[in-house]
Amino acid sequence: MLKLDAAIDTWPMLPHDCRIVVVGTVQLMALTSVEREPGHFRSTTSGFRMLLLCLLAIALMVLDHQNQQLVGVRKVLSIMLHPVQVIVSAPFNLGRNMAEATATRSELTSENEQFKQEALVINARLQRMTALEAENARLRALLDSTVKVGDSILIAEIVSVDMNPYRNMIVVNKGGRDGAYVGQAVIDADGIVGQITRDRYFSAEAMLVTDVDHAIPVELARNRLRTIAVGSGELDRLSLPFLPVNADVVDGDLLISSGLGGTFPPGYPVGVIRKIKEVTGQAFLRVDAEPAAALNRIREVLLITPQGGDEFAEAATAADAPPENEAGPDQVSGDVAQDETAAAEATP
């Protein structure tokens, strides 16, 4: 153990938990390494060593699963593995760059023309937006509530790598180095994409709203009926399991983020109601929504940092908690847990 401590002290640039694991593994391997006698073929496996490695793997899994103590280990290992990601995504980037470089002049001019027109339309809308924002601020001041301010934005690109095939996760090319943080909301031009779940320093992992572990507090844009949209595991479907049979919901309703829970800023489109099914004898409707963001086509995403954190707390206190928000599934992200606490705080 003395040797272990000494080794840890001489290696100061890594996080402490990481150093313990790395040095521990090395010492364990040295301790149990097989004597390599010439001509002695049977000695290549050692059950003892196998047992130790299995225990180490199980210990890692328990630590990783239970209380997220291995963030440092993960970060260091993922920085080491960053080159692999770069190599894998390189041909795809190269292909895109080639396509851009070989675009003809007429294509570029027509595209440019199109962008100019779009910019004109968007700017025109923005003019009205400024007036509306000012009006909103005045009205909110009359109501004695906090003024809603804009969000700051970080543009990121999706790295062309496949994550776990069984989950809806993506890797974006901005990480802790660029100011991305765990829990940050990810959007694209059409709506909410997901949230950052792991920071890899040079890049970050994001969970999409459609992942089975993801849930997002939403409200119907039409009547502000609040509920939770849970991922289904399919890229084109969200499910809304907590709408009672008598809820006022119709096909085509727009879902926007409600801002409860504080992870996602309020007001961004999440999806559109596509299928409503009433099952006889069930207290809840079976409602499916289609995500607003083009989850399987996006290349560029925006990481948004909400400015002025008061608005969420304010929204939570203004809310009277509907009963469907209390009943969350067992396996949902921290977002809903937060949402539930926010809702619990709201009830006097």
Partner 1 sequence: MARRVRLWPLIAAMVAAVAFEIMPLPGILQGFRPPLPTMIMIYCAMMWPQRFGIGTAFCVGLCLDILHGQLLGQNALALTAVTYLTLRFHLQIRIFPLWQLTVTVFALLGFGAFLQFLVEGLAGLPPAGLARWTRVLSGTLFWPLVMGIMDRLRISVEARPSSFN
**Residue 88 in contact with partner 1, rule: CB under 8 A:** yes
- Give the three-state DSSP class for 279: coil
**Residue 87 in contact with partner 1, rule: CB under 8 A:** yes
Phi, psi of 265 (to 5 degrees): -70, 150
Nearest to 231 by CA among 239, 241, 242: 239
Among 188, 199, 205, 339, binds partner 1 (CB under 8 A): 205
Nearer to partner 1, 12 or 47 (CB): 47
**Interface with partner 1 by CB under 8 A: which range of 2-10, 28-36, 173-181, 338-346?**
28-36
Binders in 263-302 for partner 1, by CB under 8 A: 296
Q: Cα–Cα distances in Å, from 129 out to 30, 151, 275?
A: 66, 15, 33
Nearer to partner 1, 165 or 252 (CB): 165
334: exposed, middle or buried (C-beta count within 10 Å: 0-12, 13-18, 19+)?
A: middle
CB atoms within 10 A of CB 16: 11
Among 19, 78, 173, 328, binds partner 1 (CB under 8 A): 78
**Residue 337 in contact with partner 1, rule: CB under 8 A:** no
Task: Say how many residues make up the chain.
Answer: 348
**Interface with partner 1 by CB under 8 A: which range of 66-74, 145-153, 248-256, 315-323?**
66-74
Cβ contact 227:257 at 8 Å: no
**Interface with partner 1 by CB under 8 A: which range of 40-48, 188-196, 236-244, 270-278?**
40-48
Min dist CB 268 to partner 1, Å, is: 25
**Residue 160 in contact with partner 1, rule: CB under 8 A:** yes
Q: Are strands 238-240 and 254-257 parallel, antiparallel or unpaired?
A: unpaired
Min dist CB 330 to partner 1, Å, is: 8
**Residue 98 in contact with partner 1, rule: CB under 8 A:** no
Cβ contact 267:192 at 8 Å: no
C-alpha 102: how far from its chain's center?
A: 35
- Measured between alpha carbons, how far is 221 from 224 in angstroms, rounded to an integer? 6
Nearer to partner 1, 25 or 145 (CB): 25
Among 10, 35, 38, 347, binds partner 1 (CB under 8 A): 38
Min dist CB 67 to partner 1, Å, is: 13
Among 14, 60, 154, 182, binds partner 1 (CB under 8 A): 60
Nearer to partner 1, 43 or 152 (CB): 43
Q: Which residues contact 331 (CB under 8 A, 6 or more apart)?
A: 212, 213
- Measured between alpha carbons, how far is 93 from 90 in angstroms, rounded to an integer? 5
Using DSSP, how many helices (H) and how many strands (E) does the chain show?
A: 9, 12
Cβ contact 285:276 at 8 Å: yes
Binders in 206-265 for partner 1, by CB under 8 A: 212-213, 233
- Measured between alpha carbons, how far is 192 from 291 in angstroms, rounded to an integer? 8
**Residue 44 in contact with partner 1, rule: CB under 8 A:** yes
Phi, psi of 277 (to 5 degrees): -130, 130
Among 148, 174, 198, 226, binds partner 1 (CB under 8 A): 198
Angle ∠(230,150,194) on CA atoms, nearest 5: 25
Min dist CB 343 to partner 1, Å, is: 24
**Residue 13 in contact with partner 1, rule: CB under 8 A:** no
**Residue 56 in contact with partner 1, rule: CB under 8 A:** yes
Binders in 163-182 for partner 1, by CB under 8 A: 163-167, 169
Sites of contact with partner 1 (CB under 8 A): 29, 34, 36, 38-39, 41, 44-45, 49-50, 53-54, 56-61, 63-65, 70, 73-74, 77-78, 81, 84-85, 87-89, 92, 160-167, 169, 197-198, 205, 212-213, 233, 296, 331
